Structures are given as structure tokens and as C-alpha cells.
Chain A
Amino acid sequence: MTAQLELRNLSRHFGGIRAVDGVSFAIAPGRITGLVGPNGAGKSTLFNVVTGTIRPSGGTVLFEGRPLAAGQPGAMARRGLIRSFQSTMSWPELGVRRHLEQAALLRALAAPRLLLRRGRIAEARRRAARLADDILEFTGLAAVAEAPVATLPYGSQKIVGVAMALAAEPTLLLADEPAAGLNGAETLAMEALLRRIHRERGVSLVVVEHDLPMIMRLCDRLIALADGRVIADGTPAEVRRSRHFIEAYLGSDADAA
């Protein structure tokens, strides 16, 4: 079985800084994988290279067996690899439902040549409306469907960010610090939502997160990065026992975890 996402010796340098330095791993379909590491470990850079936002300095990213076309941001998304958004304030004055519809429409009308197909816009609009209803229900945002996103509490705004990614119908969802800035109850709600996205919608997840207890509960597999390299890779229990991992986190979150 081909891996859903595979990184082969991936690196990205900024001047002399090796932000990502020869990272390789393969992720099987249908998993929840956590990506952890202290600040500056290279998680964000890795995310940006995988989604095609920045070019790798070396190595390859394969999604469902096919390599990422360099210099084509958006190409990965069109193939079903969608990232969630840390900031949902794209259209602060628009309601939640409109956010989801826009996300679905943007995904459906990715290339302008799609406009040439007769009835494509009307069809895309109808489909976006149906998808928005479905996701509002699924994420529990139905009650605030018409509220401008700017008026929602922060926890709900983060849910909107994940819901928008869902509206783009991913097969693999990259969740970028979904719990950052959330309080205890909100973190639990986010964790439950991610679990349901995996179980009920069949979406694989890769989650970057600082909240170690949360990510250890959530994931089947953890990959720990430090200084741009993989320092531990295994089940959460294995990674927690790894000497390199403990060293990287020494005296910080490791105790709490």
C-alpha cells in the first residue's frame, strides 16, 4: 500500500540555517499523526514545504504516490491535502455559513477554465450551500451560522478555521496548532472534533501542536522534530520514553506529559 504522504530526505535552508534538515517519513492512510517539537524545531517550515507554499531546498514530497510540483502553491490542495487555518479572520464581517460556502466555492473553482463548463458556477454554488449546511451541523456551528465570525469567541473561531478546511473536502487534513490559545474546555472540544473528523468523515490527520497532553491523547503516532531533524518517531508512549525527546523538552512540557 502506498503511503498517503511521504517525505524523502526533505530539507529547507534559509541562508545558513537548516530549518528542515533531511526529514524522511511516510504516513499510511487513515491515521492521526502528531508533529511535535520545541519552538524553532522546523514544524512550520515543514508544513509550508509540504503544502507547496515554499520550495524545498532538497528532497521530495509525495502525496498519494505523486510528487509535489515545485512552485505551484495550491496544487497540493487541489489534490485533497488541505491545511486548517490559524487565523480565520479572512472576511471578519461575513457569517460562519458564508465562510464555509466561500471555502467550498474557492475549492470548486480552483482553476478558471472550470468556468467554461456550462452550469458549473450554479452547480458549485448549490453544492457549496449543501456542504456548508452539512458542516455547520457536524461541527456544532449551526447555532451561530449567521453570526459574523469576528463576533464569535476565540474557541469558536478556531473551530471555523477547521470547518473551512473541511468545506474544501480534504482526504488529508493538516491541522496547524488547532489548540493554540484555547482554554481547557475548548481544547477538549477541539480534540473531540478532530477525532470525529477522522472517524466519521474518514479524513487522515496530521496535527502540529504544542499542547503535548492533547496531542498524546489524540494521535496514533508522534513524530518529534528538533533543529530540523526527526529525533523520535513512534507511538506516543514510545516517543515519551525516548531519550532525545526528553532532552529536547527537558524541564518543560515533558514533565507535564
Chain B
Amino acid sequence: MGRAATAVAALAAAAIALAPFLAGDGFVYHVAILVAIEGLLAVSLHLTLRIGQLSLAQGGFMGIGAYASALLARDAGLPFPLALVGAVVIAAAIAAALGTVILRVRGVQFALLTFGLGEAIVLIFVEFVVPFGGNNGLMGIPPASLGPLSLQARPAFYGFALAVVFLVLLAVRGLLAGTPGMVLRSLADNEPLSRSLGTDELAWRRLVFAASAAVAAISGSLYAHYLGYISPEAFNVGATVKALIMNVVGGVGLLAGPLIGALILVPLPELFRASVRYQQLLYGLSLLALMLFLPRGLGGLLAGRSRP
């Protein structure tokens, strides 16, 4: 992208991000918050796609973040920011430990393995009624707040979510676009070469996998404290598949891709709400059309051939 195009894209992104404040409508805020939360999950999946490994466990990591944050805040009495940080550390540590074993597997096998992992995580939430509440999930999760500043009102929570998305994007960009990104691209494009030059591929993949779990956990923590209630099925493989569709619709090769995808897919069902009977069908058909006519995703329209 040229300088002018980048400026236009940045302005457009800012306009879209700030639009809910102008609309000032409760439902618009609600949808915008869900876009941010589901967009973060899509960004976490995007990270694993960048190392050429499709992880279907991201919904599970989002669940780990949600349950950890909820329990840390509700039962351990930690303030929301500490519960969020704790959830991120727990999810990243679990991913790093599991990654040492499962990242040795590649391709379809990795997708299947993480599918199993994601389902196992959800089953743990279902089976261990103490402390996870079983199928009923957890209720009475304290609303988010920053010190004396309550984030319970939707505009405040949306503002916070927006800031979090921005910071996450900066961090992910630092990982994918800079020198570490060069190492990761080389690993994805030409593994034998990287290996011959000494790249510790497992350590690099583990770093990205842990980072992806951290981002998923942020998404989960926001989700838990926004709704005040969580249940296991919200974090099953369906959530991950939705995040995958967001990546494909938005453009897999572009960092903004997952967010563009979330921006389209989260509100999409609402557009068809008038015709409830055909909602799912119309949703499916729109997806088909997007993938047929824009195989590189909507982001591909903007980005030309460049990678961020």
C-alpha cells in the first residue's frame, strides 16, 4: 500500500471504530463490543495461521481466559485488570507447555489434535462442577472496572475494548512485521533452509502459539466480564470455526483481515433478522458469495500484494 492508501485505510478504521459513539445506541454498542471480542479471537487464530498451523483449540484458550478471569475476580477477589493479566498468563503458560508436544505435529494432524484439545478443554469445564460450574457455567462475574472507573456501561466498556484491540494489534504487528516476523516468514516459507541455519523452530512456534493463546484469553476475559455470565458451549470448536471464517473473509495474509472479517460476520446475522426463517440460509449464501468472488478476502482488495 502506498502512503496515501495507508492514510485512507487508517482514517476509515478510525471512523468505523468511533462510529458507535456517534450512533449512541445501546444495541450498536453491544454489536460493536462483540465485534471487538470475536475479532480478538480471530486475531489469535491469525497468529497460528501465520506459522502455517491451523489451531482449532483457540476457542478453548478463550474459555481458559474467560474462566480464569471470572474465577480470579469473583472467587479470589482480584480487581479486573489483575484478573485479566492472570488469565493471559495462565492461558499462555498452558499453551507453551502443550506446544512443546503438539507443535511437533503438522498439517491436518495438527488441526485434528487441536480440535481434540479444544473439545477436551470444554469438557473439563463441563465435568468439573467445582470450580467451573458444569453445564450451568459461572454466574455473577463482577463487571469490569479500572480502579475507581467503572466499565459497566456499554460506552465505557466499548472504549476499553477498543483500546485493548489497538494494543493487541500493535503487539501482534511487532511480532509479525519486524525482525521476528522475518524469522517466522522464513520458517513458514522455507523450513529446511531455516533449519539449516539453526533456527530453533519449536521454540519460535511455541512463542507464537503462546502469544495466540494470550490473545484468545484476552478475548475470553472481556467476554466474561462484559456478559457477567459464561457457559462452556460458548468456547467449543464452533467459536474457533467462526474465527476461521472471519480470517478467510477478511483476508488471511493481512493483519487487519481477522478484524475486517469480524466487522462483517458479527453484524451479518442481524441484517437478516427481519426474515428469521431464512437467517441461517442467507448467512451461508453471503459467505459462499464472499469466498467465491473475493478469494483473498476483503482485505485483499485493499492490500494489493503487500504483507504487513
Distance (Å) between the CB of B110 and the closest chain A CB?
Answer: 17
CA distance A5 to B244 in the complex (A): 47
The answer to whether residues A110 and B199 also contact, given A90-B189, A115-B180 and a CB cut-off of 8 A, is yes
Using Cβ atoms and an 8 Å threshold, which residues of chain A touch B104? 71
- A-side contacts of B183, CB under 8 Å: 105-106, 109, 112
In-complex Cβ contact of B203 among A82, A113, A168 (8 A): A113
Decide if A106 touches B194 in the complex (CB within 8 Å): yes
A245 proximal to B (CB < 8 A): no
- Report if A82-B197 is in contact (Cβ < 8 Å); known contacts: A112-B207, A113-B203: yes
Mark B203-244 against chain A: 1 for CB-CB distance below 8 A, else 0.
Answer: 110010000000000000000000000000000000000000
Q: Does A121 contact B (CB under 8 A)?
A: yes
Having A85-B196, A124-B179, one finds 15 other A-B pairs with CB under 8 Å, namely A74-B197, A74-B199, A74-B200, A74-B201, A75-B198, A77-B196, A77-B197, A85-B193, A90-B189, A90-B190, A105-B182, A109-B199, A112-B183, A165-B196, A168-B196
Does residue A198 face the partner (Cβ distance < 8 Å to B)?
no
The smallest C-beta distance from B193 to any residue of chain A, in angstroms, reads: 5
Please state if B197 and A103 are interface contacts (CB–CB under 8 Å): yes
Let me know if B192 is at the binding interface, CB within 8 A.
yes
Residue A51 is within 8 A (CB to CB) of chain B in the complex: yes
Provide the residues of chain B in CB contact with A107, threshold 8 Å.
197-198
Name the one of A51, A82, A121 contacting B179, with C-beta atoms under 8 angstroms. A121
Known contacts A90-B189, A102-B182, A125-B179; A112 and B203 CB within 8 A of each other: yes
With A109-B179, A121-B179 as known contacts, state yes or no: A168 contacts B198, CB within 8 Å.
yes
Chain A contacts to B: CB under 8 angstroms: 51, 53, 71-75, 77-78, 82-83, 85, 90-91, 102-103, 105-107, 109-113, 115, 121, 124-125, 164-165, 168
CA distance A133 to B190 in the complex (A): 24
B152 contacts chain A at the CB level, 8 A cutoff: no
CB distance from A147 to the nearest CB of B (A): 20
Q: Is the CB of A112 within 8 A of B186?
A: no
B198 neighbours in A (Cβ, 8 Å): 74-75, 77-78, 82, 106-107, 110, 168
Residues of B258-292 at the interface with A, using a CB-CB cut-off of 8 Å, are none
For residue B307, CB closer than 8 A to chain A, the reply is no
Given the known inter-chain contacts A53-B192, A90-B189, A102-B186, please indicate yes or no for A110 contacting B180, CB distance below 8 A: no
CB atoms of B186 and A106 under 8 A apart: yes
Tell whether, in the assembled complex, residue A111 and residue B197 are in contact, meaning their CB atoms are under 8 Å apart: no
CB-based contact A112/B204 at 8 Å:
yes
Is residue B195 within 8 Å, beta carbon to beta carbon, of the partner chain?
Answer: yes
B308 at the interface (CB under 8 A from A): no
Chain A, residue nearest B198 (CB): A77
The residues of B that contact A124 with a CB separation of less than 8 Å are: 179
* Chain A residues in 8 Å Cβ range of B140: none
Min distance, Cβ B196 to any Cβ of chain A, angstroms: 5
Inter-chain CA distance A51–B202, complex, in Å, is: 16
